[in-house]
């Protein structure tokens, strides 16, 4: 433990350097007095006032340098009220294929999952360049069927998801597929979709081997280890880690939270890459795994096979069905144990003990439950309230010889002496008020950095009467420090209610908070209106910025996410990109500020289109109007903001996507809105029924 020491270097900030402040004050006095004031010693009243003010400044500096959580907790406030945890702001929605795989693996009942580009989607299209038509490949032949020269169209952004079910949890395939679909669609990227989500069937694998172990080894214990190594090789599981585990490996905090937040913890990238899908099993790999077990001397013989199909393959076992995943079957395997030339006999009771121990080990090593919040997130400091607003008037710091402190003058003091003391108090009152207001401002740091507080107040004040009543006993000052002092009058002098400058300052504070998250909201739409109408013109913009900050983890982490069309209600029915644009345009909630985003990939042909006798799309402008493209549909009433909207659409849309902007009149937009809702409902029914076989479940 390092010893506790006092720093002997210069203070961290000039405001904490009392001697330096006094020296600077003396230098300024010398410059300003121009030779008329020659006594700068401590006995001079002016120097005493200077020293007292410098001390008051160092006291303010000390309070300013309290830890930020303590300043935010002033007055008993919750310091975490306007702070996000590391997991909230550093995590995001799934972006890469590896992220989607993590999301799928995090679903309870999933042992492993693989997300692959759908090179051959379930419904394929052909483009006839001559007729400019897109048709479903394999549709019923008609007079409008595509010509033989029509080219196949490969859509980008479609994925197939393969799920390996955990045999340690009793969850049936349809239920598991439903849960995976919900999680994945909540993380679906803009202009991407899932062509197929499938739970793989299990292919039992039998292992036939002869293994030599050490003379002093317990055969049952070694056999359990062999079973575990074989099962891990044939069907690897992905471990989940706590945040403590990850940081102990030297992973930086921002790297730890890179990707989507998972309920069961963190997945190490190396473990994710190693747990690849097995399509062929190799005897040499399995021999290496078994010989790496402590107590195993040699593997004399090893073959892999499918139960009931002979003695197995001596080199490689290839899975015939791509829709299956291998699983080690101890009941169908035979592993003979030897100690030198002596064959060991493992009776039925011993095999049952081995099987039970093997099952217990798998459950302890592979059964991951959702973690508590503190195990998968870094806590936000709570802070300790410091009561930084308390102000003691300067008169309390003066020597008693000045006659302005408590008990400094007796009741028999002559009126002239009282007048002189009161004159000095009046002079100091201006400094006291400035110091008190500074401390009031510091006490409201939490309000200034808050995105929940309404209004535009940016300057704070407090009357010095609260502290002076306790210190001053001079009757002449009683009218100034009466209990009925109206603090609102003081506040009105500091910052008049409804002041345009107050709204502008509040706006700058919100801009500062946005900049901390590398976000920016333009003021262009309302700057002119704000200048013409006063503070009221800033209100919609300030409200939009507060709303943006309140939802920042969702708006930031999900800026590339599409609409979750499996959700029938809730925030995910609006893509974060649309909400970002609405708030950055300071548009109201509801129909008055509504516009639409249509992802073209969701307009592609589905299973029901494969039997139609008409072209799927006539007069097609290109051979692929679906991949990586999206359309924004705005009402005509927003056309005055068209230049700003076009710029924001370009800035906010992910760079690999092509955006189109369309304008509709009120009647057209109402018709479009109804059709848009019906379309999403159709997509939901299709995804929950035809594609995933979930017709029994109508909930999102």
Instruction: Report pLDDT for 586.
Output: 86
Q: Report yes or no on 129 lying in a domain.
A: no
Q: Report yes or no on 280 lying in a domain.
A: yes
Separation of alpha carbons 326 and 335, rounded Å: 19
Instruction: Report pLDDT for 572.
Output: 72
Q: Report yes or no on 545 lying in a domain.
A: no
Q: Report yes or no on 53 lying in a domain.
A: no
Spell out a b/e string for 87-105, using b for 16 or more CB atoms within 10 Å of the CB, else e: bbbbbbbbbeeebbbbbbb
The structural domain count of the chain equals: 1
Which residues have C-beta within 8 Å of that of residue 147, sequence separation ≥ 6? 128, 130, 131
Question: pTM of the predicted model, to two decimals?
Answer: 0.83
Q: Report yes or no on 330 lying in a domain.
A: yes
Instruction: Measure Cα distances from 433 to 111, 398, 425 in Å.
Output: 67, 17, 12
The C-alpha angle 126, 131, 136, rounded to 5 degrees, equals 25
In terms of residue numbers, what domain contains 216?
202-238+275-375
**Long-range contact list for 567-570, CB < 8 A, 24+ apart?**
567/185, 567/186, 567/700, 568/681, 568/684, 568/699, 568/700, 569/700, 570/700
Secondary structure of residue 116 in the 3-state scheme: strand
Q: Report yes or no on 638 lying in a domain.
A: no
Q: Report yes or no on 186 lying in a domain.
A: no
Q: Do 546 and 539 contact (CB within 8 A), yes or no? A: no
In sequence order, what are the beta bridge partners of 126? 135, 152
Helix (H), strand (E), coil (C) string for 250-299: CCCHHHHCCCCCCCCCECCHHHHHHCCCCCEEEHHHHHHHHHCCCCEEEE
Averaged in consecutive runs of 10 residues, what is the pLDDT profile of the chain (700 residues)? 78 91 91 76 86 95 92 82 88 94 94 91 86 76 54 91 90 90 94 93 92 91 93 90 91 91 91 87 93 92 84 82 88 90 87 89 81 89 88 88 83 88 89 94 91 86 61 47 67 87 90 92 56 57 91 92 86 88 89 92 82 76 92 94 92 95 96 93 79 41
């Amino acid at each position: 433990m390092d010893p506790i020491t006092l720093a002997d270097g210069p203070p961290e900030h000039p405001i904490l350097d009392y001697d330096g402040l006094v020296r600077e004050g003396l230098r300024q006095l010398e410059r300003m007095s121009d030779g008329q004031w020659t006594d700068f010693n401590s006995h001079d009243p002016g120097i005493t006032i200077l020293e007292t003010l410098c001390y008051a400044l160092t006291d303010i500096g000390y309070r300013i340098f309290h830890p930020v959580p303590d300043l935010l907790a002033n007055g008993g406030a919750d310091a975490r009220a306007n702070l996000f945890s590391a997991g909230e702001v550093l995590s995001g929605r799934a972006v890469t294929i590896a992220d989607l795989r993590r999301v799928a693996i995090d679903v309870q009942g999933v042992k492993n999952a693989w997300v692959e580009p759908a090179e051959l989607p379930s419904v394929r299209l052909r483009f006839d360049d001559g007729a400019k038509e897109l048709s479903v490949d394999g549709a019923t032949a008609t007079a409008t069927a595509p010509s033989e020269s029509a080219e196949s169209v490969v859509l980008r952004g479609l994925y197939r998801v393969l799920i390996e079910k955990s045999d340690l949890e009793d969850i049936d395939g349809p239920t598991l597929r439903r849960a995976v679909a919900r999680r994945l669609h909540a993380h679906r990227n803009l202009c991407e979709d899932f062509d197929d989500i499938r739970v793989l069937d299990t292919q039992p694998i039998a292992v036939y081997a002869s293994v030599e172990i050490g003379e002093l080894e317990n055969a049952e214990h070694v056999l359990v280890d062999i079973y575990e190594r074989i099962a891990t090789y044939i069907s690897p599981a992905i471990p989940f880690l706590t945040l403590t585990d990850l940081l102990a490996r030297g992973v930086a905090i921002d790297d730890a939270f890179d990707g989507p937040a998972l309920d069961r913890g963190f997945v190490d990238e190396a473990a994710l890459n190693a747990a690849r899908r097995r399509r062929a099993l190799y005897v040499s790999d399995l021999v290496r795994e078994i010989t790496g077990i402590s107590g195993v001397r040699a593997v004399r013989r090893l073959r892999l096979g499918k139960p009931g199909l002979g003695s197995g393959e001596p080199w490689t076992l290839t899975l015939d069905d791509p829709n299956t995943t291998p699983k080690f079957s101890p009941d169908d395997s035979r592993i003979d144990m030897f100690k030198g030339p002596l064959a060991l006999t493992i009776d039925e009771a011993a095999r049952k003990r081995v099987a039970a121990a093997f099952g217990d080990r798998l459950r302890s090593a592979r059964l991951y439950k959702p973690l508590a919040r503190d195990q998968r997130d870094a806590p936000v400091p709570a802070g300790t309230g410091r009561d930084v607003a308390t102000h003691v008037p300067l008169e309390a710091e003066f020597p008693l010889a000045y006659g302005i402190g408590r008990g400094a003058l007796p009741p028999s003091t002559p009126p002239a002496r009282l007048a002189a003391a009161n004159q000095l108090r009046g002079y100091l009152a201006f400094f006291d008020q400035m110091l008190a207001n500074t401390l009031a401002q510091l006490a409201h740091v939490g309000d200034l950095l808050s995105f929940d507080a309404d209004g535009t107040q940016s300057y704070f004040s407090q009357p010095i009467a609260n502290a002076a009543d306790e210190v001053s006993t001079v009757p002449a000052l009683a009218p100034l420090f009466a209990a009925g002092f109206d603090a609102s009058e003081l506040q009105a002098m500091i910052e008049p209610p409804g002041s345009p400058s107050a709204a502008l300052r509040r706006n700058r504070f919100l801009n500062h908070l946005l900049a901390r998250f590398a976000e920016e909201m333009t003021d262009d739409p309302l700057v002119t209106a704000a200048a013409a109408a006063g503070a009221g013109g800033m209100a919609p913009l300030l409200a939009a910025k507060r709303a943006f900050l309140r939802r920042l983890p969702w708006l930031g982490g999900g800026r590339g996410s599409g609409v979750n069309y499996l959700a029938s209600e809730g925030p995910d029915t609006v893509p974060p990109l649309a909400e970002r644009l609405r708030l950055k345009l300071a548009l109201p909630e509801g129909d008055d500020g509504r516009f639409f985003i249509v992802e073209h990939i969701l307009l592609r042909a589905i299973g029901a289109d494969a039997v139609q006798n008409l072209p799927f799309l006539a007069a097609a402008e290109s051979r692929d109007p679906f991949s990586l493209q999206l359309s924004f549909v705005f009402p005509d009433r927003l056309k005055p903001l068209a230049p700003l909207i076009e710029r924001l659409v370009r800035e906010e849309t992910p760079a690999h996507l092509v955006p189109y902007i369309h304008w509709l009149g009120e009647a057209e937009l109402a018709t479009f809105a109804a059709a848009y809702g019906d379309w999403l409902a159709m997509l939901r029914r299709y995804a929950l029924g035809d594609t995933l076989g979930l017709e029994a479940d109508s909930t999102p």
